[in-house]
Structure 1
Amino acid sequence: MESEKSDSDTRYVLGIIENRVKEVGVAALDLRRASLHLSQFIETSRSYQNIVTLLQYFDPKVIIIPSNSSAPDGMIGLTALLERCSNARKVELVRGFFDDTKGATMLQNVAAKETRAIFSENYHKQFYLCLGAAAAVLKWIEVEHGFIITKNSLQITFNGSFDHMSIDATSIENLEVIEPLVLDSIKQKRNRSSLYNMLNTTKTVGGARLLRANLLQPLKDIETITTRLDSLDELTNNEQLFFGLSDVIQKFPKDTDRVLCSFCFRQKKGSVDTTASTRRSQVLVAAIILLKEALDLLPLLSKVLQDAKSSLLCNIRASLSSNSAYSVLKERISEVISDDAMHARSAFTARTQQCFAVKYGVDCMLDLARKSFCTTSEAIHELGIKYQKEFDMPKLRLVYNQRQGFHIVISESDLQQNCLPNVFLQVVKRGKNFCCSTDELMSLNSRNQEAAAECYVRTEQCLEDLINYISGDVRSLALLAESLSLLDMMVNSFANTIITKLPAVYTRPDFTENGPIAIEAGRHPLLESIQFEDFVPNNTFMSEATNLVIITGPNMSGKSTHLRQVALITIMAHIGCYVPAGFASFRIVDHIFTRIGTGDNLELNASTVTYISIKS
């Protein structure tokens, strides 16, 4: 729904509701990928550990809960929990918005055809809480942002988070999976990275987000893990394939997955916010340019994958090259979009590309708006040259950004007697430069922005049929975004990590149904990357007969490091990546729980074990 955000900026809106028997319903709407995740479960922990884990996973920007919700006996309450565990914006709605019947009806209308089956009558009766949470989330999006979801466009998963390995929030922090630990004494991060930072050499936003999701909830399906490992075998042994894929992925727009969201959300009829409407038109035009650029690169990607042998890479090649929807969509786009239109990161270049995206002659009113845009842009450029000569400021330049439009930047070295002429207004000093404007520039800037806004609106009107066509086949866009994200993670994260290490440092893990957990010459993946001398490896063996290991030793001997090492190697193996060990064999792990360090609470006169028992 928004066009320019940082890679790490969250996009989830979370709805949570509970009943008096400790049953919780959760609906998480991903605004970037237009997908909805539903979960309903019994909260067995008095401290809401399951919800805390979901908050860690989704990292929502907004959390919606019922107003005046009282906690069941022995529970701390949702409101108190959210105040303590999340910095997201909290929104309280009356319980009437959490209507499961309306939720089921709304989801049947907007759900993609492939996911409608989950809304049968049996599902409705059994999972009414998460449907009520979904109703509140969708209604809040409509009221707050003035957007509605188009029909048959929302990808919905049910209880997806519980089909993966569960790692509680405390363990995520202790193991440094996403963020490095913070030293409370000096409030600074240690001179070390996290597992996510170490592996995150991805080139796209979708690849980075998929990597984070896999680390927080690793896989439990042996077949999927083995398929990923097979593709890693091929990528690490075939340098031509590895470098070819890495080069092609880098050419794709960094935020290709943003395209999907643009066509799934439509502005609600009756909206009178002209600024929001113009912004919406700009986002749609930018999304079509992004989509055009991605579709143009698909033949090159298929060519690089043509000699691939592993099933994962072959399936991706088949899904992208044999899907006729992409070729038809490319033809529809080429009918109205100029061949020269390209995605650009620069604000002014992107704006110009969006204004001239549609071919000439399609709409005469659009051509007139473009002429006005060009005239004012040239006048602004000539005005900058005029000021350079008139005030003898050769370093004076015009700069454009989306918030201010065009403004003047003058170097401090250009000033005579450290004083600006009176013609310059709104002067702000930034470093060694002065940012300012003039009456003439502000007038031209206003006319230029009005012409650009008219171009956006007229362009969207010209593309209305194309937008409706794209919205009708969102599943193809979702498949494209998912394939690129998975390729990026496998190639630029997993394979890159293995190839850039010394030979024989990382090895492929084995998986068995009921075998032991055996690690030979295992190493801590984070510490060995920053340790100057050779890391001392350790062996680990656990089976049904020996399922408890007690580690003893003096302070600073590496006991905690060994515990973290085993857990991190296990996580890496379950996401389908090679591990830092001479040999590693695992059975599927369902949960990882850790308690590392001291957690004494003097106020409660409780030891670490007692305090943990009180919390859980």
Structure 2
Amino acid sequence: MATYTPMIQQYLRVKADYQDAFLFFRLGDFYEMFFEDAIRASQLLEITLTSREGGGEERIPMCGVPYHSAPNYIEQLVEKGYKVAICEQTEDPKQAKGVVRREVVQLITPGTMMEGRGLSEKENNYIASITMFDERNYGFAYNDLSTGESKVTLLSGGFDEVLNELAISGSKEVVIQSTLHKELQKKIKDRTNATLSFEDDESMKDSYRHLLAELNQDRLKTTVTRLVNYLYRTQKRNLDHLQPVSTYVINQFMKIDYFSKRNLELTETIRSKGKKGSLLWLLDETKTAMGGRLLKQWIDRPLIQKEEIERRHSLVETLIHHFFEREELREKLKEVYDLERLAGRVAFGNVNARDLLQLKRSLYQIPILKEMIGSLPNDEAKDLSDRLEPCEDLTDLLERAIKENPPLSVKEGNIINDGYNEELDRYRDASRNGKTWIAQLERQERDKTGIKSLKIGYNRIFGYYIEVTRANLHLLTEGQYERKQTLANAERFITPELKEKETLILQAEEKSVELEYSLFTEIREVVKEYIPRLQALAKTVSALDVLQCFATISETRHYVKPQFSSDRKIVVKDGRHPVVEKVMNAQEYVPNDCYMDREREVLLITGPNMSGKSTYMRQIALTAILAQIGCYVPAGEAVLPIFDQVFTRIGAADDLISGQSTFMVEMLEANNAIAHATQDSLILFDEIGRGTSTYDGMALAQAIIEYIHDRIGAKTLFSTHYHELTVLEEELDKVKNIHVSAIEQNGKVVFLHKIKEGAADKSYGIHVAQLAELPADLIRRANELLHAFEQKEEAIVPPVSHIKETRPEPVVVPAPVETINDAQLSFFDEAPVRKSEPALDSKDKKVINKLKELDILEMTPMQALNMLYDLHKKVKG
């Protein structure tokens, strides 16, 4: 240290406390970085790396950015997951003895961003804290510093439950105790992209104890204290906008684990990781930023309390039936800015005059919204109306105080209205009159001297001056003006009178700007007192925004109000997948029914690839989620139970980071559902067991079905290509077969996308490959191999207890050219003609023998079909 210059020594002392951050060290008009910080920052920010002498033998790496453009560079680093410590001069250089004192005034981190590109207006920017009490019990809290919202819960399901909450919150930074096990830290990094930070202080400062007012357990208080202390330590400023921390219990909401949320694409799609194509994308008709954030929160945590769900449905119904009021409401909501984040900026001290104008314009809409909602014939609407507080006193203050088009900076003046402050008005009058006097003096001097080009100008170095060109100097009398400056083509002069007026004008302008800033800070302090009321107002406006959004979507998309059953019955008629329906033309989408009760707990779904099995399963889950967040649902009619949890295993993906195969991920997700589901849960399993050998997979699939059927009793949709499992309908009372229908025409498969009772007869896998335009020779060879495999399979009995007989794949009779009705088409679904006699049972043989007696060659295809259908009914019963 001693070998470095005093300034570099100062830098190193500050840097020692911020080893995990880039230190932006203020030197004049630049923020400089040195040593390793400089090398890394020059690469990440693509700025020039230089060096300087630091007092040692070698030159020190250095790079820097201008202070006025620093926010852009800081955002780039924070978006990449880094922290930035801002070190400013905290001493007047003129009064400094030696090196000017410098201190870190703020640590900017991914979880504490208050403004900029990295802060999406319709997404919360959460920072979380985790406190470990023992191997099973943890505290979990999260906060959005930009809005002041904080929540906390206790988790008793081990660290996997913590990781699930962390993933659902989408926190960008996680604060933990430094003693948390390294393997648990690694799990956080593997599961999320969050930045890890450390905080061990668990003693709450007196000034923030009010935040714990609603917490009644020491463990909750400890978890919150860790987070608040970290925020206070890093931000180094007043955090008056932090709201009292509210508790939540995960069992008070429908639980949707991280995997299910991803598989159902609730807030982002699997492929693009973006919002487009997700349920959130479909629903987002909100008009305010805070409404958009609340909508995402509601999707993440659907309700399970019937009364609260029906309260939301009631308001949605009222808004649907009052179209003109709803449209006016939507127009007024467009004029409401982000009250939550405006309140945060006020408390943080970085609000400007334009922000306060946005606040004023937003408050102007509140009385209109209040009257509009209060006029609706709905008790819940009237309750919302009562909670809309206009804050007239604040609106009046902002109207009187703030100019309509103020500058961005609050230190340049011209932000306070005339008439707001008498002293300011006097300064402005002196400044304006002084400039008028200058203009009059210029005219007088031109007339007096006869010099038409004479002018009075101003610069910061010399102040006001009279300028005369060299060509006109002979027109001046000796001693008329006092010479001030000589230019190449002119001379500049002053007079005692001009100097006196200059002092008056400049003092008035300087004092005016200083007074304006002082008045602005006073107004900001007054606004600060309204923060709790503004935050409560924001909650009501955002809830109103989400409800009008539900009403708009429900009416536009022709959704219906769901009813809730007390006997765990599902009756969905003409149900649709909401997102797929929007992406497709609505007329092209094939709706489907779903019926489940105590006698139909497990639906075993078979059918071809690409026929719509996964879509059908997803639409049932999305219908339930939509109903429980308070929205109408995409169906002609819907009766649903209230589900406590939704589990999905759809699709296949390797977890490369943790080194887990597709099949392992599949089994882990299956285990998660089986371990936690109750009879009030919904389980969606798609192609379980396909990641291993046929018989292994089939045995696992059947065992899982039996376990859910016998021990859990959850409503379950289980799609499979193991057609052998369809015999479970005969063995397990509550298992029912359904299938997605398809027909073959001219050797090609036609997907009907229609769910029907019973099992499918084949998978049409080679047909799908043909649709994908694989080479014709390859398709031909696949058919040959399939035929060979089917012949060989006749002698094999799978090692699954409930499967008594194995038959070769049936041959589907090609559909006739004429139109076939549903009843006739069901013949091919239920009673296909077998291709080899050893696989025929006694009833099938009767059908074949009867056909031998008939001469069907003379019949038309339709006549033959009708005859076969009638014969089937008689023989099969």
- Please say whether Structure 1 and Structure 2 have the same fold, judged by a TM-score greater than 0.5: yes
8 Å Cα contact 2:573-2:638 kept in structure 1: yes
Q: In structure 2, which of residues 181, 196, 207 is the aligned counterpart of residue 70 of structure 1?
A: 181
- Once the two structures are superposed, residues 158-196 of structure 1 have per-residue CA deviations (whole angstroms, 9 ceiling, x without a partner) of 1255421111111111111111221xxxxx679971110
Residue 262 of structure 1 is matched in structure 2 by 345
Deviation at 1:299, TM superposition (A): 2.1
User: Quick one: structure 1 residues 363 and 523, their matched pair in 2 at CA, closer, same or farther if it must change by over 3 Å?
Assistant: same
Contact 2:424 2:516 in 1 (8 A): no
Q: In the alignment, what sits opposite 1:230?
A: 314
How has the CA–CA distance of structure 1 residues 352 and 51 changed in structure 2, closer, same or farther, with 3 Å as cutoff? same
Mapping 1:194-593, distance limit 5 Å: 194-253=278-337, 255-263=338-346, 265-266=347-348, 280-281=349-350, 283=351, 285-320=353-388, 323=389, 326-334=391-399, 336-338=400-402, 340-341=403-404, 355-360=413-418, 362=421, 364=423, 459=516, 461-491=518-548, 493-501=549-557, 505-532=558-585, 534-593=588-647
Unmatched 5+ residue regions in structure 1?
72-76, 183-187, 267-279, 343-347, 376-450
- For the residues of structure 2 that align with 1:38 and 1:90, how far apart are their CA atoms? 19
SS at match of 2:155: strand
Summarize deviations over 1:548-607 as a string: whole Å, max 9, x none. Answer: 222122222211111111111111111111111011112221111111123578977855
Compared CA separation, residues 349 and 132, structure 1 to 2 (3 A)? same
Q: Is the 8 Å Cα contact of residues 222 and 588 (structure 1) preserved in structure 2?
A: yes
Shift of residue 132, structure 1, vs aligned partner: 2.3
Residue 30 and residue 133 in structure 1: after superposition, are their counterparts in 2 closer, same or farther (change >3 A)? same
Q: How far apart in 1 are the matches of 2:623 and 2:215?
A: 39
Alignment deviations for residues 191-223 of structure 1 (CA, whole Å, 9 cap, x no partner): 971110111121211111011111111112212
1:508 Cα offset (Å): 0.6
Q: Distance in 2 between matches of 1:50 and 1:225?
A: 26
Query: Residues 329, 161 of structure 1: CA spacing in aligned structure 2 closer, same or farther, 3 A cutoff?
Result: farther
- Supply the AA of the counterpart residue of 2:579: L
How many angstroms apart in 1 are the aligned matches of 2:641 and 2:221?
35
- Say if 1:599 and 1:607, in contact at 8 Å, map to a contact too: no
1:95-174 matched pairs, under 5 angstroms: 95=200, 97=201, 99=202, 102-103=203-204, 107-110=208-211, 116=213, 118-120=214-216, 123-124=217-218, 128=219, 130-150=220-240, 154-159=243-248, 161-174=250-263
Q: Which amino acid aligns with 1:476?
A: R
Q: From the superposition, tell whether residues 357 and 601 of structure 1 become closer, same or farther in structure 2 (CA, over 3 Å).
A: closer
**Normalised by the size of structure 2, how large is the TM-score?**
0.50
Distance 1:167 1:453 in 2: 60
Aligned to 2:268: 179
Q: CA deviation at 1:360?
A: 3.1
Match of 1:13 among 127, 136, 139: 127
Q: CA deviation at 1:481?
A: 0.4
Equivalent residue letter for 1:337: A
TM-score, normalised via structure 1 length: 0.70
Query: How far off is 1:308 after superposition?
Result: 0.7
Aligned length: 480
CA drift of 1:523 comes to: 0.6
Aligned to 2:155: 41
Shift of residue 485 of structure 1?
Answer: 0.9
2:215, 2:245 within 8 Å by CA — same for their partners in 1?
no
In percent, how many aligned pairs have the same letter?
23
Distance across 1 between alignment mates of 2:115 and 2:275: 34
Partner of 2:873: none
Residues 277-331 of structure 1, C-alpha deviation per residue, up to 9 Å, x if partnerless?
A: xxx35x15444333222222222223322421122321121222xx4x7233334
Kept in 2, the 8 Å contact 1:180–1:190? The answer is: yes
Bigger relative contact order (CA 8 A; separation at least 6)? 1
Amino acid at match of 1:18: M
Would the aligned equivalents of 2:124 and 2:293 in 1 still touch at CA under 8 Å?
Answer: no
Call closer, same or farther: CA 1:457–1:315 in 2, change over 3 Å: farther
Alignment CA distance shift 1:110-1:563 (3 Å): same
| Helix, strand or coil at the partner of 1:147 | coil
Deviation at 1:60? 1.8
What per-residue deviation string (whole Å, max 9, x for no partner) do you get for residues 236-292 of structure 1? 222211111111111222x222123234x45xxxxxxxxxxxxx35x1544433322
CA 1:609–1:297 in 2, change beyond 3 Å: closer, same or farther? closer
8 A contact 2:174–2:194 mirrored in 1? yes
Moved more, 229-238 or 519-528: 229-238
Report if the CA contact (8 A) 2:126-2:173 is conserved: yes
Q: Matched residue of 1:209: which SS?
A: helix
- 1:252 is paired with a residue of what secondary structure? coil
Quote the offset at 1:119 in angstroms. Answer: 3.7
The residue identity in structure 1 corresponding to 2:181 is S
Query: Relative to 1, partners in 2 of residues 1:600 and 1:196: Cα closer, same or farther, differing over 3 Å?
Result: closer
Give, in whole Å, the separation in 1 of the partners of 2:170 and 2:287.
22
Q: Please tell me whether residue 88 in structure 1 is matched to residue 200 in structure 2.
A: no
Question: How far has the Cα of 1:511 moved from its partner?
Answer: 1.9
SS class of match (2:317): helix
Q: Secondary structure at the match of 2:648?
A: coil
| Residue identity in the other structure for 1:25 | G
Between the aligned partners of 1:169 and 1:456, the Cα distance in structure 2 is: 54
Instruction: Give the letter for the 2:379 counterpart.
Output: S
Residues of 2 paired with 1:475 and 1:601: CA distance?
A: 45
Structure 2 residue identity aligned to 1:223: E
Specify the SS of the correspondent of 2:339.
coil
State the one-letter code of the partner of 1:488: D
Secondary structure of the corresponding residue to residue 557 of structure 1: coil
Provide the rounded CA distance (Å) in 2 between the counterparts of 1:85 and 1:569. Answer: 28
Segments of structure 2 that go 5 or more residues without pairing to the other structure are 1-112, 435-507, 676-877
User: Higher mean Cα deviation, 200-209 or 1-10?
Assistant: 1-10
Indicate if the aligned counterparts of 1:220 and 1:574 stay in contact, CA closer than 8 A: yes
Change (3 A) 1:457 1:291: farther
Contact 1:174 1:594 in 2 (8 A): yes
1:319–1:453 CA distance, 2 compared to 1 (3 A): farther
Tell me the residue number matched to 1:445: none
Q: What is the alpha-carbon distance in structure 2 between the residues aligned to residue 354 and residue 309 of structure 1?
A: 51
The secondary structure found in structure 2 opposite 1:521 is strand
> Are residues 191 and 158 of structure 1, via their aligned partners in 2, closer, same or farther at CA, if it must alter by over 3 Å?
closer
- Contact 2:649–2:666 (CA under 8 A) maintained in structure 1: no
Q: What's 2:8 paired with?
A: none
Measured in 1, the distance between the counterparts of 2:366 and 2:579 equals 36
Alignment partners' CA distance in 2, 1:354 and 1:293? 23
- The change in CA–CA distance for 1:525 and 1:479 in structure 2 (over 3 A counts) is same
Does structure 2 conserve the Cα–Cα contact (< 8 Å) formed by 1:27 and 1:39? yes
8 A contact 1:178–1:197 mirrored in 2: yes
